[in-house]
Chain A
Amino acid sequence: MTGPLVIARRSFLRGLNLAVGGLTLGFSFSARAQKAPVPSGSQALDATAPGLNPNVFLHVAPDGLVTIVCHRSEMGQGIRSSLPVLIADELGAQMARVKIRQADGDVVYGDQNTDGSNSIRGFYEDLRRVGATARMMLIEAAAARWKVRADECVAKDHLVTHRPTKRRLGFGALAVEAARRKIPEPKTVVLRPRSELTSLTANMPLLDGPAYVTGQAMFGADVRLPGMLTVVIARPPVVGGTIVRFDAADALAVPGVVKVVEMPQPKVPWHFQPWGGLAVVAENTWAAMRGRAALHITWAAGPNGAYDSEVFKAALSKAVSVPGLVARKVGDAEAALKSAARTVEAEYHVPHLPHLPMEPPVAVARMTSDLCEVWAPTQNPQAAQKEVARALGVPLEKVRVHVTFLGGAFGRKAKADFCSEAAVLAKMLGVPVRMQFTREDDLRHDYVNTVSTNRLTAGLDPSGRVVALRYRTAFPSIQSLFGDPATPEPEDLQQGVLDLAFAVPNLTAEIGVATAHTRIGWLRSVYNIFQGFSIGSFVDELAHERKADPRDVWLELIGPPRKLSLSDLGVKELKNYGQPLELHPVDAGRLRNVIDRVTRAARWDERGRDGRFLGLAAHRSFLSYVAAIVSMIKRPDGKLVVDEVWVALDAGIIVNAERVRAQMEGSVIFGMSLALYGGITMKNGAIEQENFRDGGRIVRMGEAPRKTWVDLMESDAAPGGVGEPGVPPIAPAIANAVFALTGQRVRELPLIKAMGRQRV
């Protein structure tokens, strides 16, 4: 979710004394629109503290301490080491004198849904304005005191300096005077040249590193409240299932177990509701787990009890064997396929995929007579606030959500179910509660990424050139979670199908009919995973069919460098991740460039030599362009292993390049896990996998590439996403490398069997 959000004036000021803090103004996000500031309460620091509060993100105290709010959740992307640094850069503050404060869920901050690779691309300019506004006010205060012109003064290293006379004043000494000044009109706020921003030009330190390596970082499960009890819940194994009868006597006999309570039964649509079931309340986690194991429950499976992923696969295959709803149309693919010299067709299947964050979902909640507080590793504290308010039947302002560190998230923790469960229990029990998912719970009660089948058909002319492409896709959509039909809407194809920058003269994309039988969620890079796998594999298949170099076929299909209009794409509209095409065009040139860069880095022309077989794929997602090459080698024992990986990323302007590299390295491992092992299977409506074995397996140290090379393209383009775009090209690059080495084409994930290894 992206897009402009107008910050409403806070109706609930939490007892802050606005008079003491001086003038405080809310910051109004608007996508590149100039908007007048809105009076509001500052959240950067307790407003009873004097100093400069130009907006809800920033406070400069008279002692010089600058507090910057991070309103996005920290889940490993390093956002706390990036966005606040960007603000501090614009301000001219020294990071050693900056305190970062994690925001609670509150509409005053605008969109806090840390999702869609949106933190930098969505807030880059607005947050620079946050810092620049305060900088201008500090400079004006200094200029007034010195009776000089403001444009003769600069702000740097926590000081304002009058250049001609070298007079200097610290930010702290200016804070109170600056607070009395008028907030500059947004259109008068001048941003620094990019060369002055260290977060754009230098590697930034990992600010939370020391907390992570000493065990001091506070994750969701680490929150401790006086009198807190721990809960583990036995949830229905099938979504929508109910309890027929239960016997809790054995559970209650477990020492440390305090109580067993029934959870509210959710209703369709599932949204983020608690899952139902029986909650075992105990003095500690171990007792709660043992108590749950001792429960005797008879479940009724409900309407999803027949869901079987093998059977469903056949249904999806059928859905792409017939014409579907046309979502994209250039030329006349049907006619061109009929008259083609030959056709190439392939069908690809990607199963449901799990999130598996290292920290299973967990939340702590406390309910008093007038407030419910939740501490949780949530990606979306405002969604949590909303769901908790709904579940408790209280107004939004009676719920406060505090965001802890997130031990991985990948989309799972954007769902508020675990926060809601904890809050409901805190209300029922009247004591603070920590509700802990076990790893088995995390797998069985995941909002799995959807399952898909794609059928791609290409028509080739006598010379082998692709003159037609028919792209059929069938998958239950995320919207089914919120009560809409499971068959995707055309806009759901924005992820890798509608924005596929191909110059094929006759191209259609069609949507097949699908149904949903579980809670469909979104996993890091979402639909791009299977769209990227299909197209990335298919281009390689076409190259093989033509006995051509896959790189050349990629470049031929993409065509000349150009920006594609809606009519070029053959679509009525393109959601484009919430951004206008003018700012973030579908740019064939940028896709070509990353392919060019990555093939040079990997020495593509030397592939196949020395037992080094390469697979290539490229994909545009979240407004960024990524190409990846995987090198596959065969070990003496016959097993195939990924040896090296090269990634070229064009994400436009890069903030904190060091963390961006880390995201690419991590995306490689994430992509490898889903390619090699990913695959949730469902039988009788229930997920079959239970822990980090079988389908819950992920890549381990010994399987990680010997080396991952990351090439960041320098660019002046508006920032694109970083957290997700590295993932989609990895699985097809692996499959293509397997093909290069073995000649075996694998069109379905997971790939592990094709690599000579069995599931563990």
Chain B
Amino acid sequence: MSISLRINGEERLLDVDPEMPLLWVLRDVLGLTGTKYGCGAALCGACTVHLEGQVVRSCVTPVRRAQGKSVTTIEGLSPDGSHPLQRAWVEQGVPQCGFCQAGQLMTAAALLKEHPVPTDAQIDQSMAGNLCRCGTYCRIRDAIKKVSGGGR
């Protein structure tokens, strides 16, 4: 069965099992490897992408749910890494190993769309689904605040 969807602004027609999680369609079928596999159970957020602008965990999202819809991955967050969050992440030295950061950025980008100046509680709540084993949480918070103008 074929699925049609828009990925990072580009229309794609895919011949895949509609039950295949979006994560594996992105990684294994389309070669978009910026979105990471971390748990397969929506527990870690490494696979976070936007579906119609909303945060989804692509590891538990069957690709059929993206039929006719628009998907944005880390590769499409900005054309050249110039999204304010991406810039802040580099300037503030947020990443350590970097593996979870695509997911962190996608969640943070959605947060700022909804709450341009989020409170600490909103940041903690929105980002709660994104694990970072290296422990970059404090810097993630600071970087979000810097971009939103909510920081010191």
Q: Which residues of A contact B (CB under 8 A)?
A: 74-78, 205-206, 208-219, 221-222, 224, 230, 255-256, 284-286, 289, 356-360, 405-410, 436, 438-439, 658-659, 662-663, 665-670, 673, 691-693, 698-702, 704-705, 707-708
Secondary structure type dominating chain A contacts: loop
Q: A222–B140 Cα gap in the complex (Å)?
A: 24
Question: Other CB < 8 Å A-B pairs besides A662-B139, A693-B43, A700-B128, 16 of them?
Answer: A76-B98, A206-B95, A211-B98, A213-B86, A286-B17, A358-B132, A360-B37, A407-B100, A408-B134, A658-B93, A667-B135, A669-B134, A692-B39, A701-B140, A704-B137, A704-B141
Which residue of A is nearest B121, CB measured? A702
Task: Determine if B74 and A215 form an interchain contact, defined as CB atoms under 8 angstroms apart.
Answer: yes
For A360, what are the chain B residues with a Cβ–Cβ distance below 8 Å?
37-38
Task: Determine if B138 and A358 form an interchain contact, defined as CB atoms under 8 angstroms apart.
Answer: no
**Nearest CB of chain B from residue A665's CB, rounded to whole Å:** 6
For A439, what are the chain B residues with a Cβ–Cβ distance below 8 Å?
38-41, 43-44
Q: A662–B137 Cα gap in the complex (Å)?
A: 11
Q: A285-B37, A662-B93 are in contact. Are A702 and B133 (CB under 8 A)?
A: no
Q: A477–B64 Cα gap in the complex (Å)?
A: 50
Q: B102 at the A/B interface (Cβ < 8 Å)?
A: yes
- The 8 A-B residue pairs with the shortest CB-CB distance, nearest first, are A215-B34, A669-B135, A407-B99, A76-B97, A212-B98, A76-B96, A704-B137, A209-B90
A-B contact pairs, 11 of them (CB 8 A): A76-B98, A78-B96, A209-B93, A209-B95, A215-B35, A358-B38, A358-B134, A658-B93, A673-B133, A691-B40, A701-B127
For A692, what are the chain B residues with a Cβ–Cβ distance below 8 Å?
39, 41, 43-44, 131
Pick from B27, B105, B139: contact of A213, CB below 8 A: B105
Secondary structure type dominating chain B contacts: loop
1/0 per position for B33-73, CB-CB distance to A under 8 A? 11111111101101000000000000000000000000001
**Nearest CB of chain A from residue B6's CB, rounded to whole Å:** 18
Task: Determine if B81 and A666 form an interchain contact, defined as CB atoms under 8 angstroms apart.
Answer: no
Pick from B98, B130, B133, B140: contact of A356, CB below 8 A: B133
**Nearest CB of chain A from residue B80's CB, rounded to whole Å:** 8
Q: B13 at the A/B interface (Cβ < 8 Å)?
A: no
Pick from A212, A410, A669, A698: contact of B101, CB below 8 A: A212
For A669, what are the chain B residues with a Cβ–Cβ distance below 8 Å?
132, 134-135, 137
Task: Determine if B101 and A702 form an interchain contact, defined as CB atoms under 8 angstroms apart.
Answer: no
Q: A285–B134 Cα gap in the complex (Å)?
A: 26
Task: Determine if B93 and A659 form an interchain contact, defined as CB atoms under 8 angstroms apart.
Answer: yes
**Nearest CB of chain B from residue A172's CB, rounded to whole Å:** 28
**Nearest CB of chain B from residue A706's CB, rounded to whole Å:** 8
Task: Determine if B135 and A214 form an interchain contact, defined as CB atoms under 8 angstroms apart.
Answer: no
For A702, what are the chain B residues with a Cβ–Cβ distance below 8 Å?
124-125, 127-128
Pick from A76, A286, A665: contact of B21, CB below 8 A: A286
Task: Determine if B90 and A213 form an interchain contact, defined as CB atoms under 8 angstroms apart.
Answer: yes
Q: A702–B105 Cα gap in the complex (Å)?
A: 17
For B95, what are the chain A residues with a Cβ–Cβ distance below 8 Å?
76, 206, 208-209, 212-213
Q: A291–B41 Cα gap in the complex (Å)?
A: 17
Task: Determine if A222 and B133 form an interchain contact, defined as CB atoms under 8 angstroms apart.
Answer: no
Task: Determine if B97 and A665 form an interchain contact, defined as CB atoms under 8 angstroms apart.
Answer: no
Pick from A75, A289, A436, A667: contact of B97, CB below 8 A: A75
**Nearest CB of chain A from residue B134's CB, rounded to whole Å:** 5
Q: A75-B97, A213-B95, A215-B102 are in contact. Are A670 and B36 (CB under 8 A)?
A: no
Interface residues of B in 67-117 (CB under 8 A from A): 73-75, 77, 80-81, 85-86, 89-90, 93, 95-102, 105
Task: Determine if B43 and A691 form an interchain contact, defined as CB atoms under 8 angstroms apart.
Answer: yes
**Nearest CB of chain A from residue B62's CB, rounded to whole Å:** 10
Q: Which residues of B contact A (CB under 8 A)?
A: 17, 20-21, 24, 27-29, 31-41, 43-44, 46, 73-75, 77, 80-81, 85-86, 89-90, 93, 95-102, 105, 123-125, 127-128, 130-141
For B132, what are the chain A residues with a Cβ–Cβ distance below 8 Å?
358, 669
Pick from B20, B31, B105, B133: contact of A408, CB below 8 A: B133
Q: A215-B74, A406-B97 are in contact. Are A210 and B36 (CB under 8 A)?
A: no
Q: A659–B41 Cα gap in the complex (Å)?
A: 32
Q: A407-B36, A439-B38 are in contact. Are A219 and B90 (CB under 8 A)?
A: no
For A708, what are the chain B residues with a Cβ–Cβ distance below 8 Å?
138
For B123, what are the chain A residues with a Cβ–Cβ distance below 8 Å?
701
Task: Determine if A284 and B133 form an interchain contact, defined as CB atoms under 8 angstroms apart.
Answer: no
Q: A533–B20 Cα gap in the complex (Å)?
A: 45
**Nearest CB of chain B from residue A433's CB, rounded to whole Å:** 14
Q: A359–B33 Cα gap in the complex (Å)?
A: 13
Q: A673–B133 Cα gap in the complex (Å)?
A: 9
Query: Which of A213, A289, A708 is packed against the most chain B CB atoms within 10 Å?
Result: A213
**Nearest CB of chain A from residue B147's CB, rounded to whole Å:** 13
Q: A75-B97, A358-B38 are in contact. Are A701 and B130 (CB under 8 A)?
A: yes
Query: Which of B24, B27, B86, B90 is packed against the most chain A CB atoms within 10 Å?
Result: B90
For A406, what are the chain B residues with a Cβ–Cβ distance below 8 Å?
97
Query: Which of B73, B75, B97, B127 is packed against the most chain A CB atoms within 10 Å?
Result: B97
Q: A214-B75, A214-B81 are in contact. Are A666 and B24 (CB under 8 A)?
A: no
For B21, what are the chain A residues with a Cβ–Cβ distance below 8 Å?
286
Which residue of B is nearest A405, CB measured? B98
**Nearest CB of chain B from residue A276's CB, rounded to whole Å:** 23
**Nearest CB of chain B from residue A363's CB, rounded to whole Å:** 14
Q: A212–B85 Cα gap in the complex (Å)?
A: 12
Task: Determine if A224 and B31 form an interchain contact, defined as CB atoms under 8 angstroms apart.
Answer: yes
Task: Determine if A358 and B81 form an interchain contact, defined as CB atoms under 8 angstroms apart.
Answer: no
For A408, what are the chain B residues with a Cβ–Cβ distance below 8 Å?
97, 99, 133-134
Q: A358-B99, A659-B93, A665-B139 are in contact. Are A76 and B35 (CB under 8 A)?
A: no
Task: Determine if B40 and A438 form an interchain contact, defined as CB atoms under 8 angstroms apart.
Answer: yes
**Nearest CB of chain A from residue B79's CB, rounded to whole Å:** 10
Q: A450–B32 Cα gap in the complex (Å)?
A: 38
For B100, what are the chain A residues with a Cβ–Cβ distance below 8 Å?
358, 407
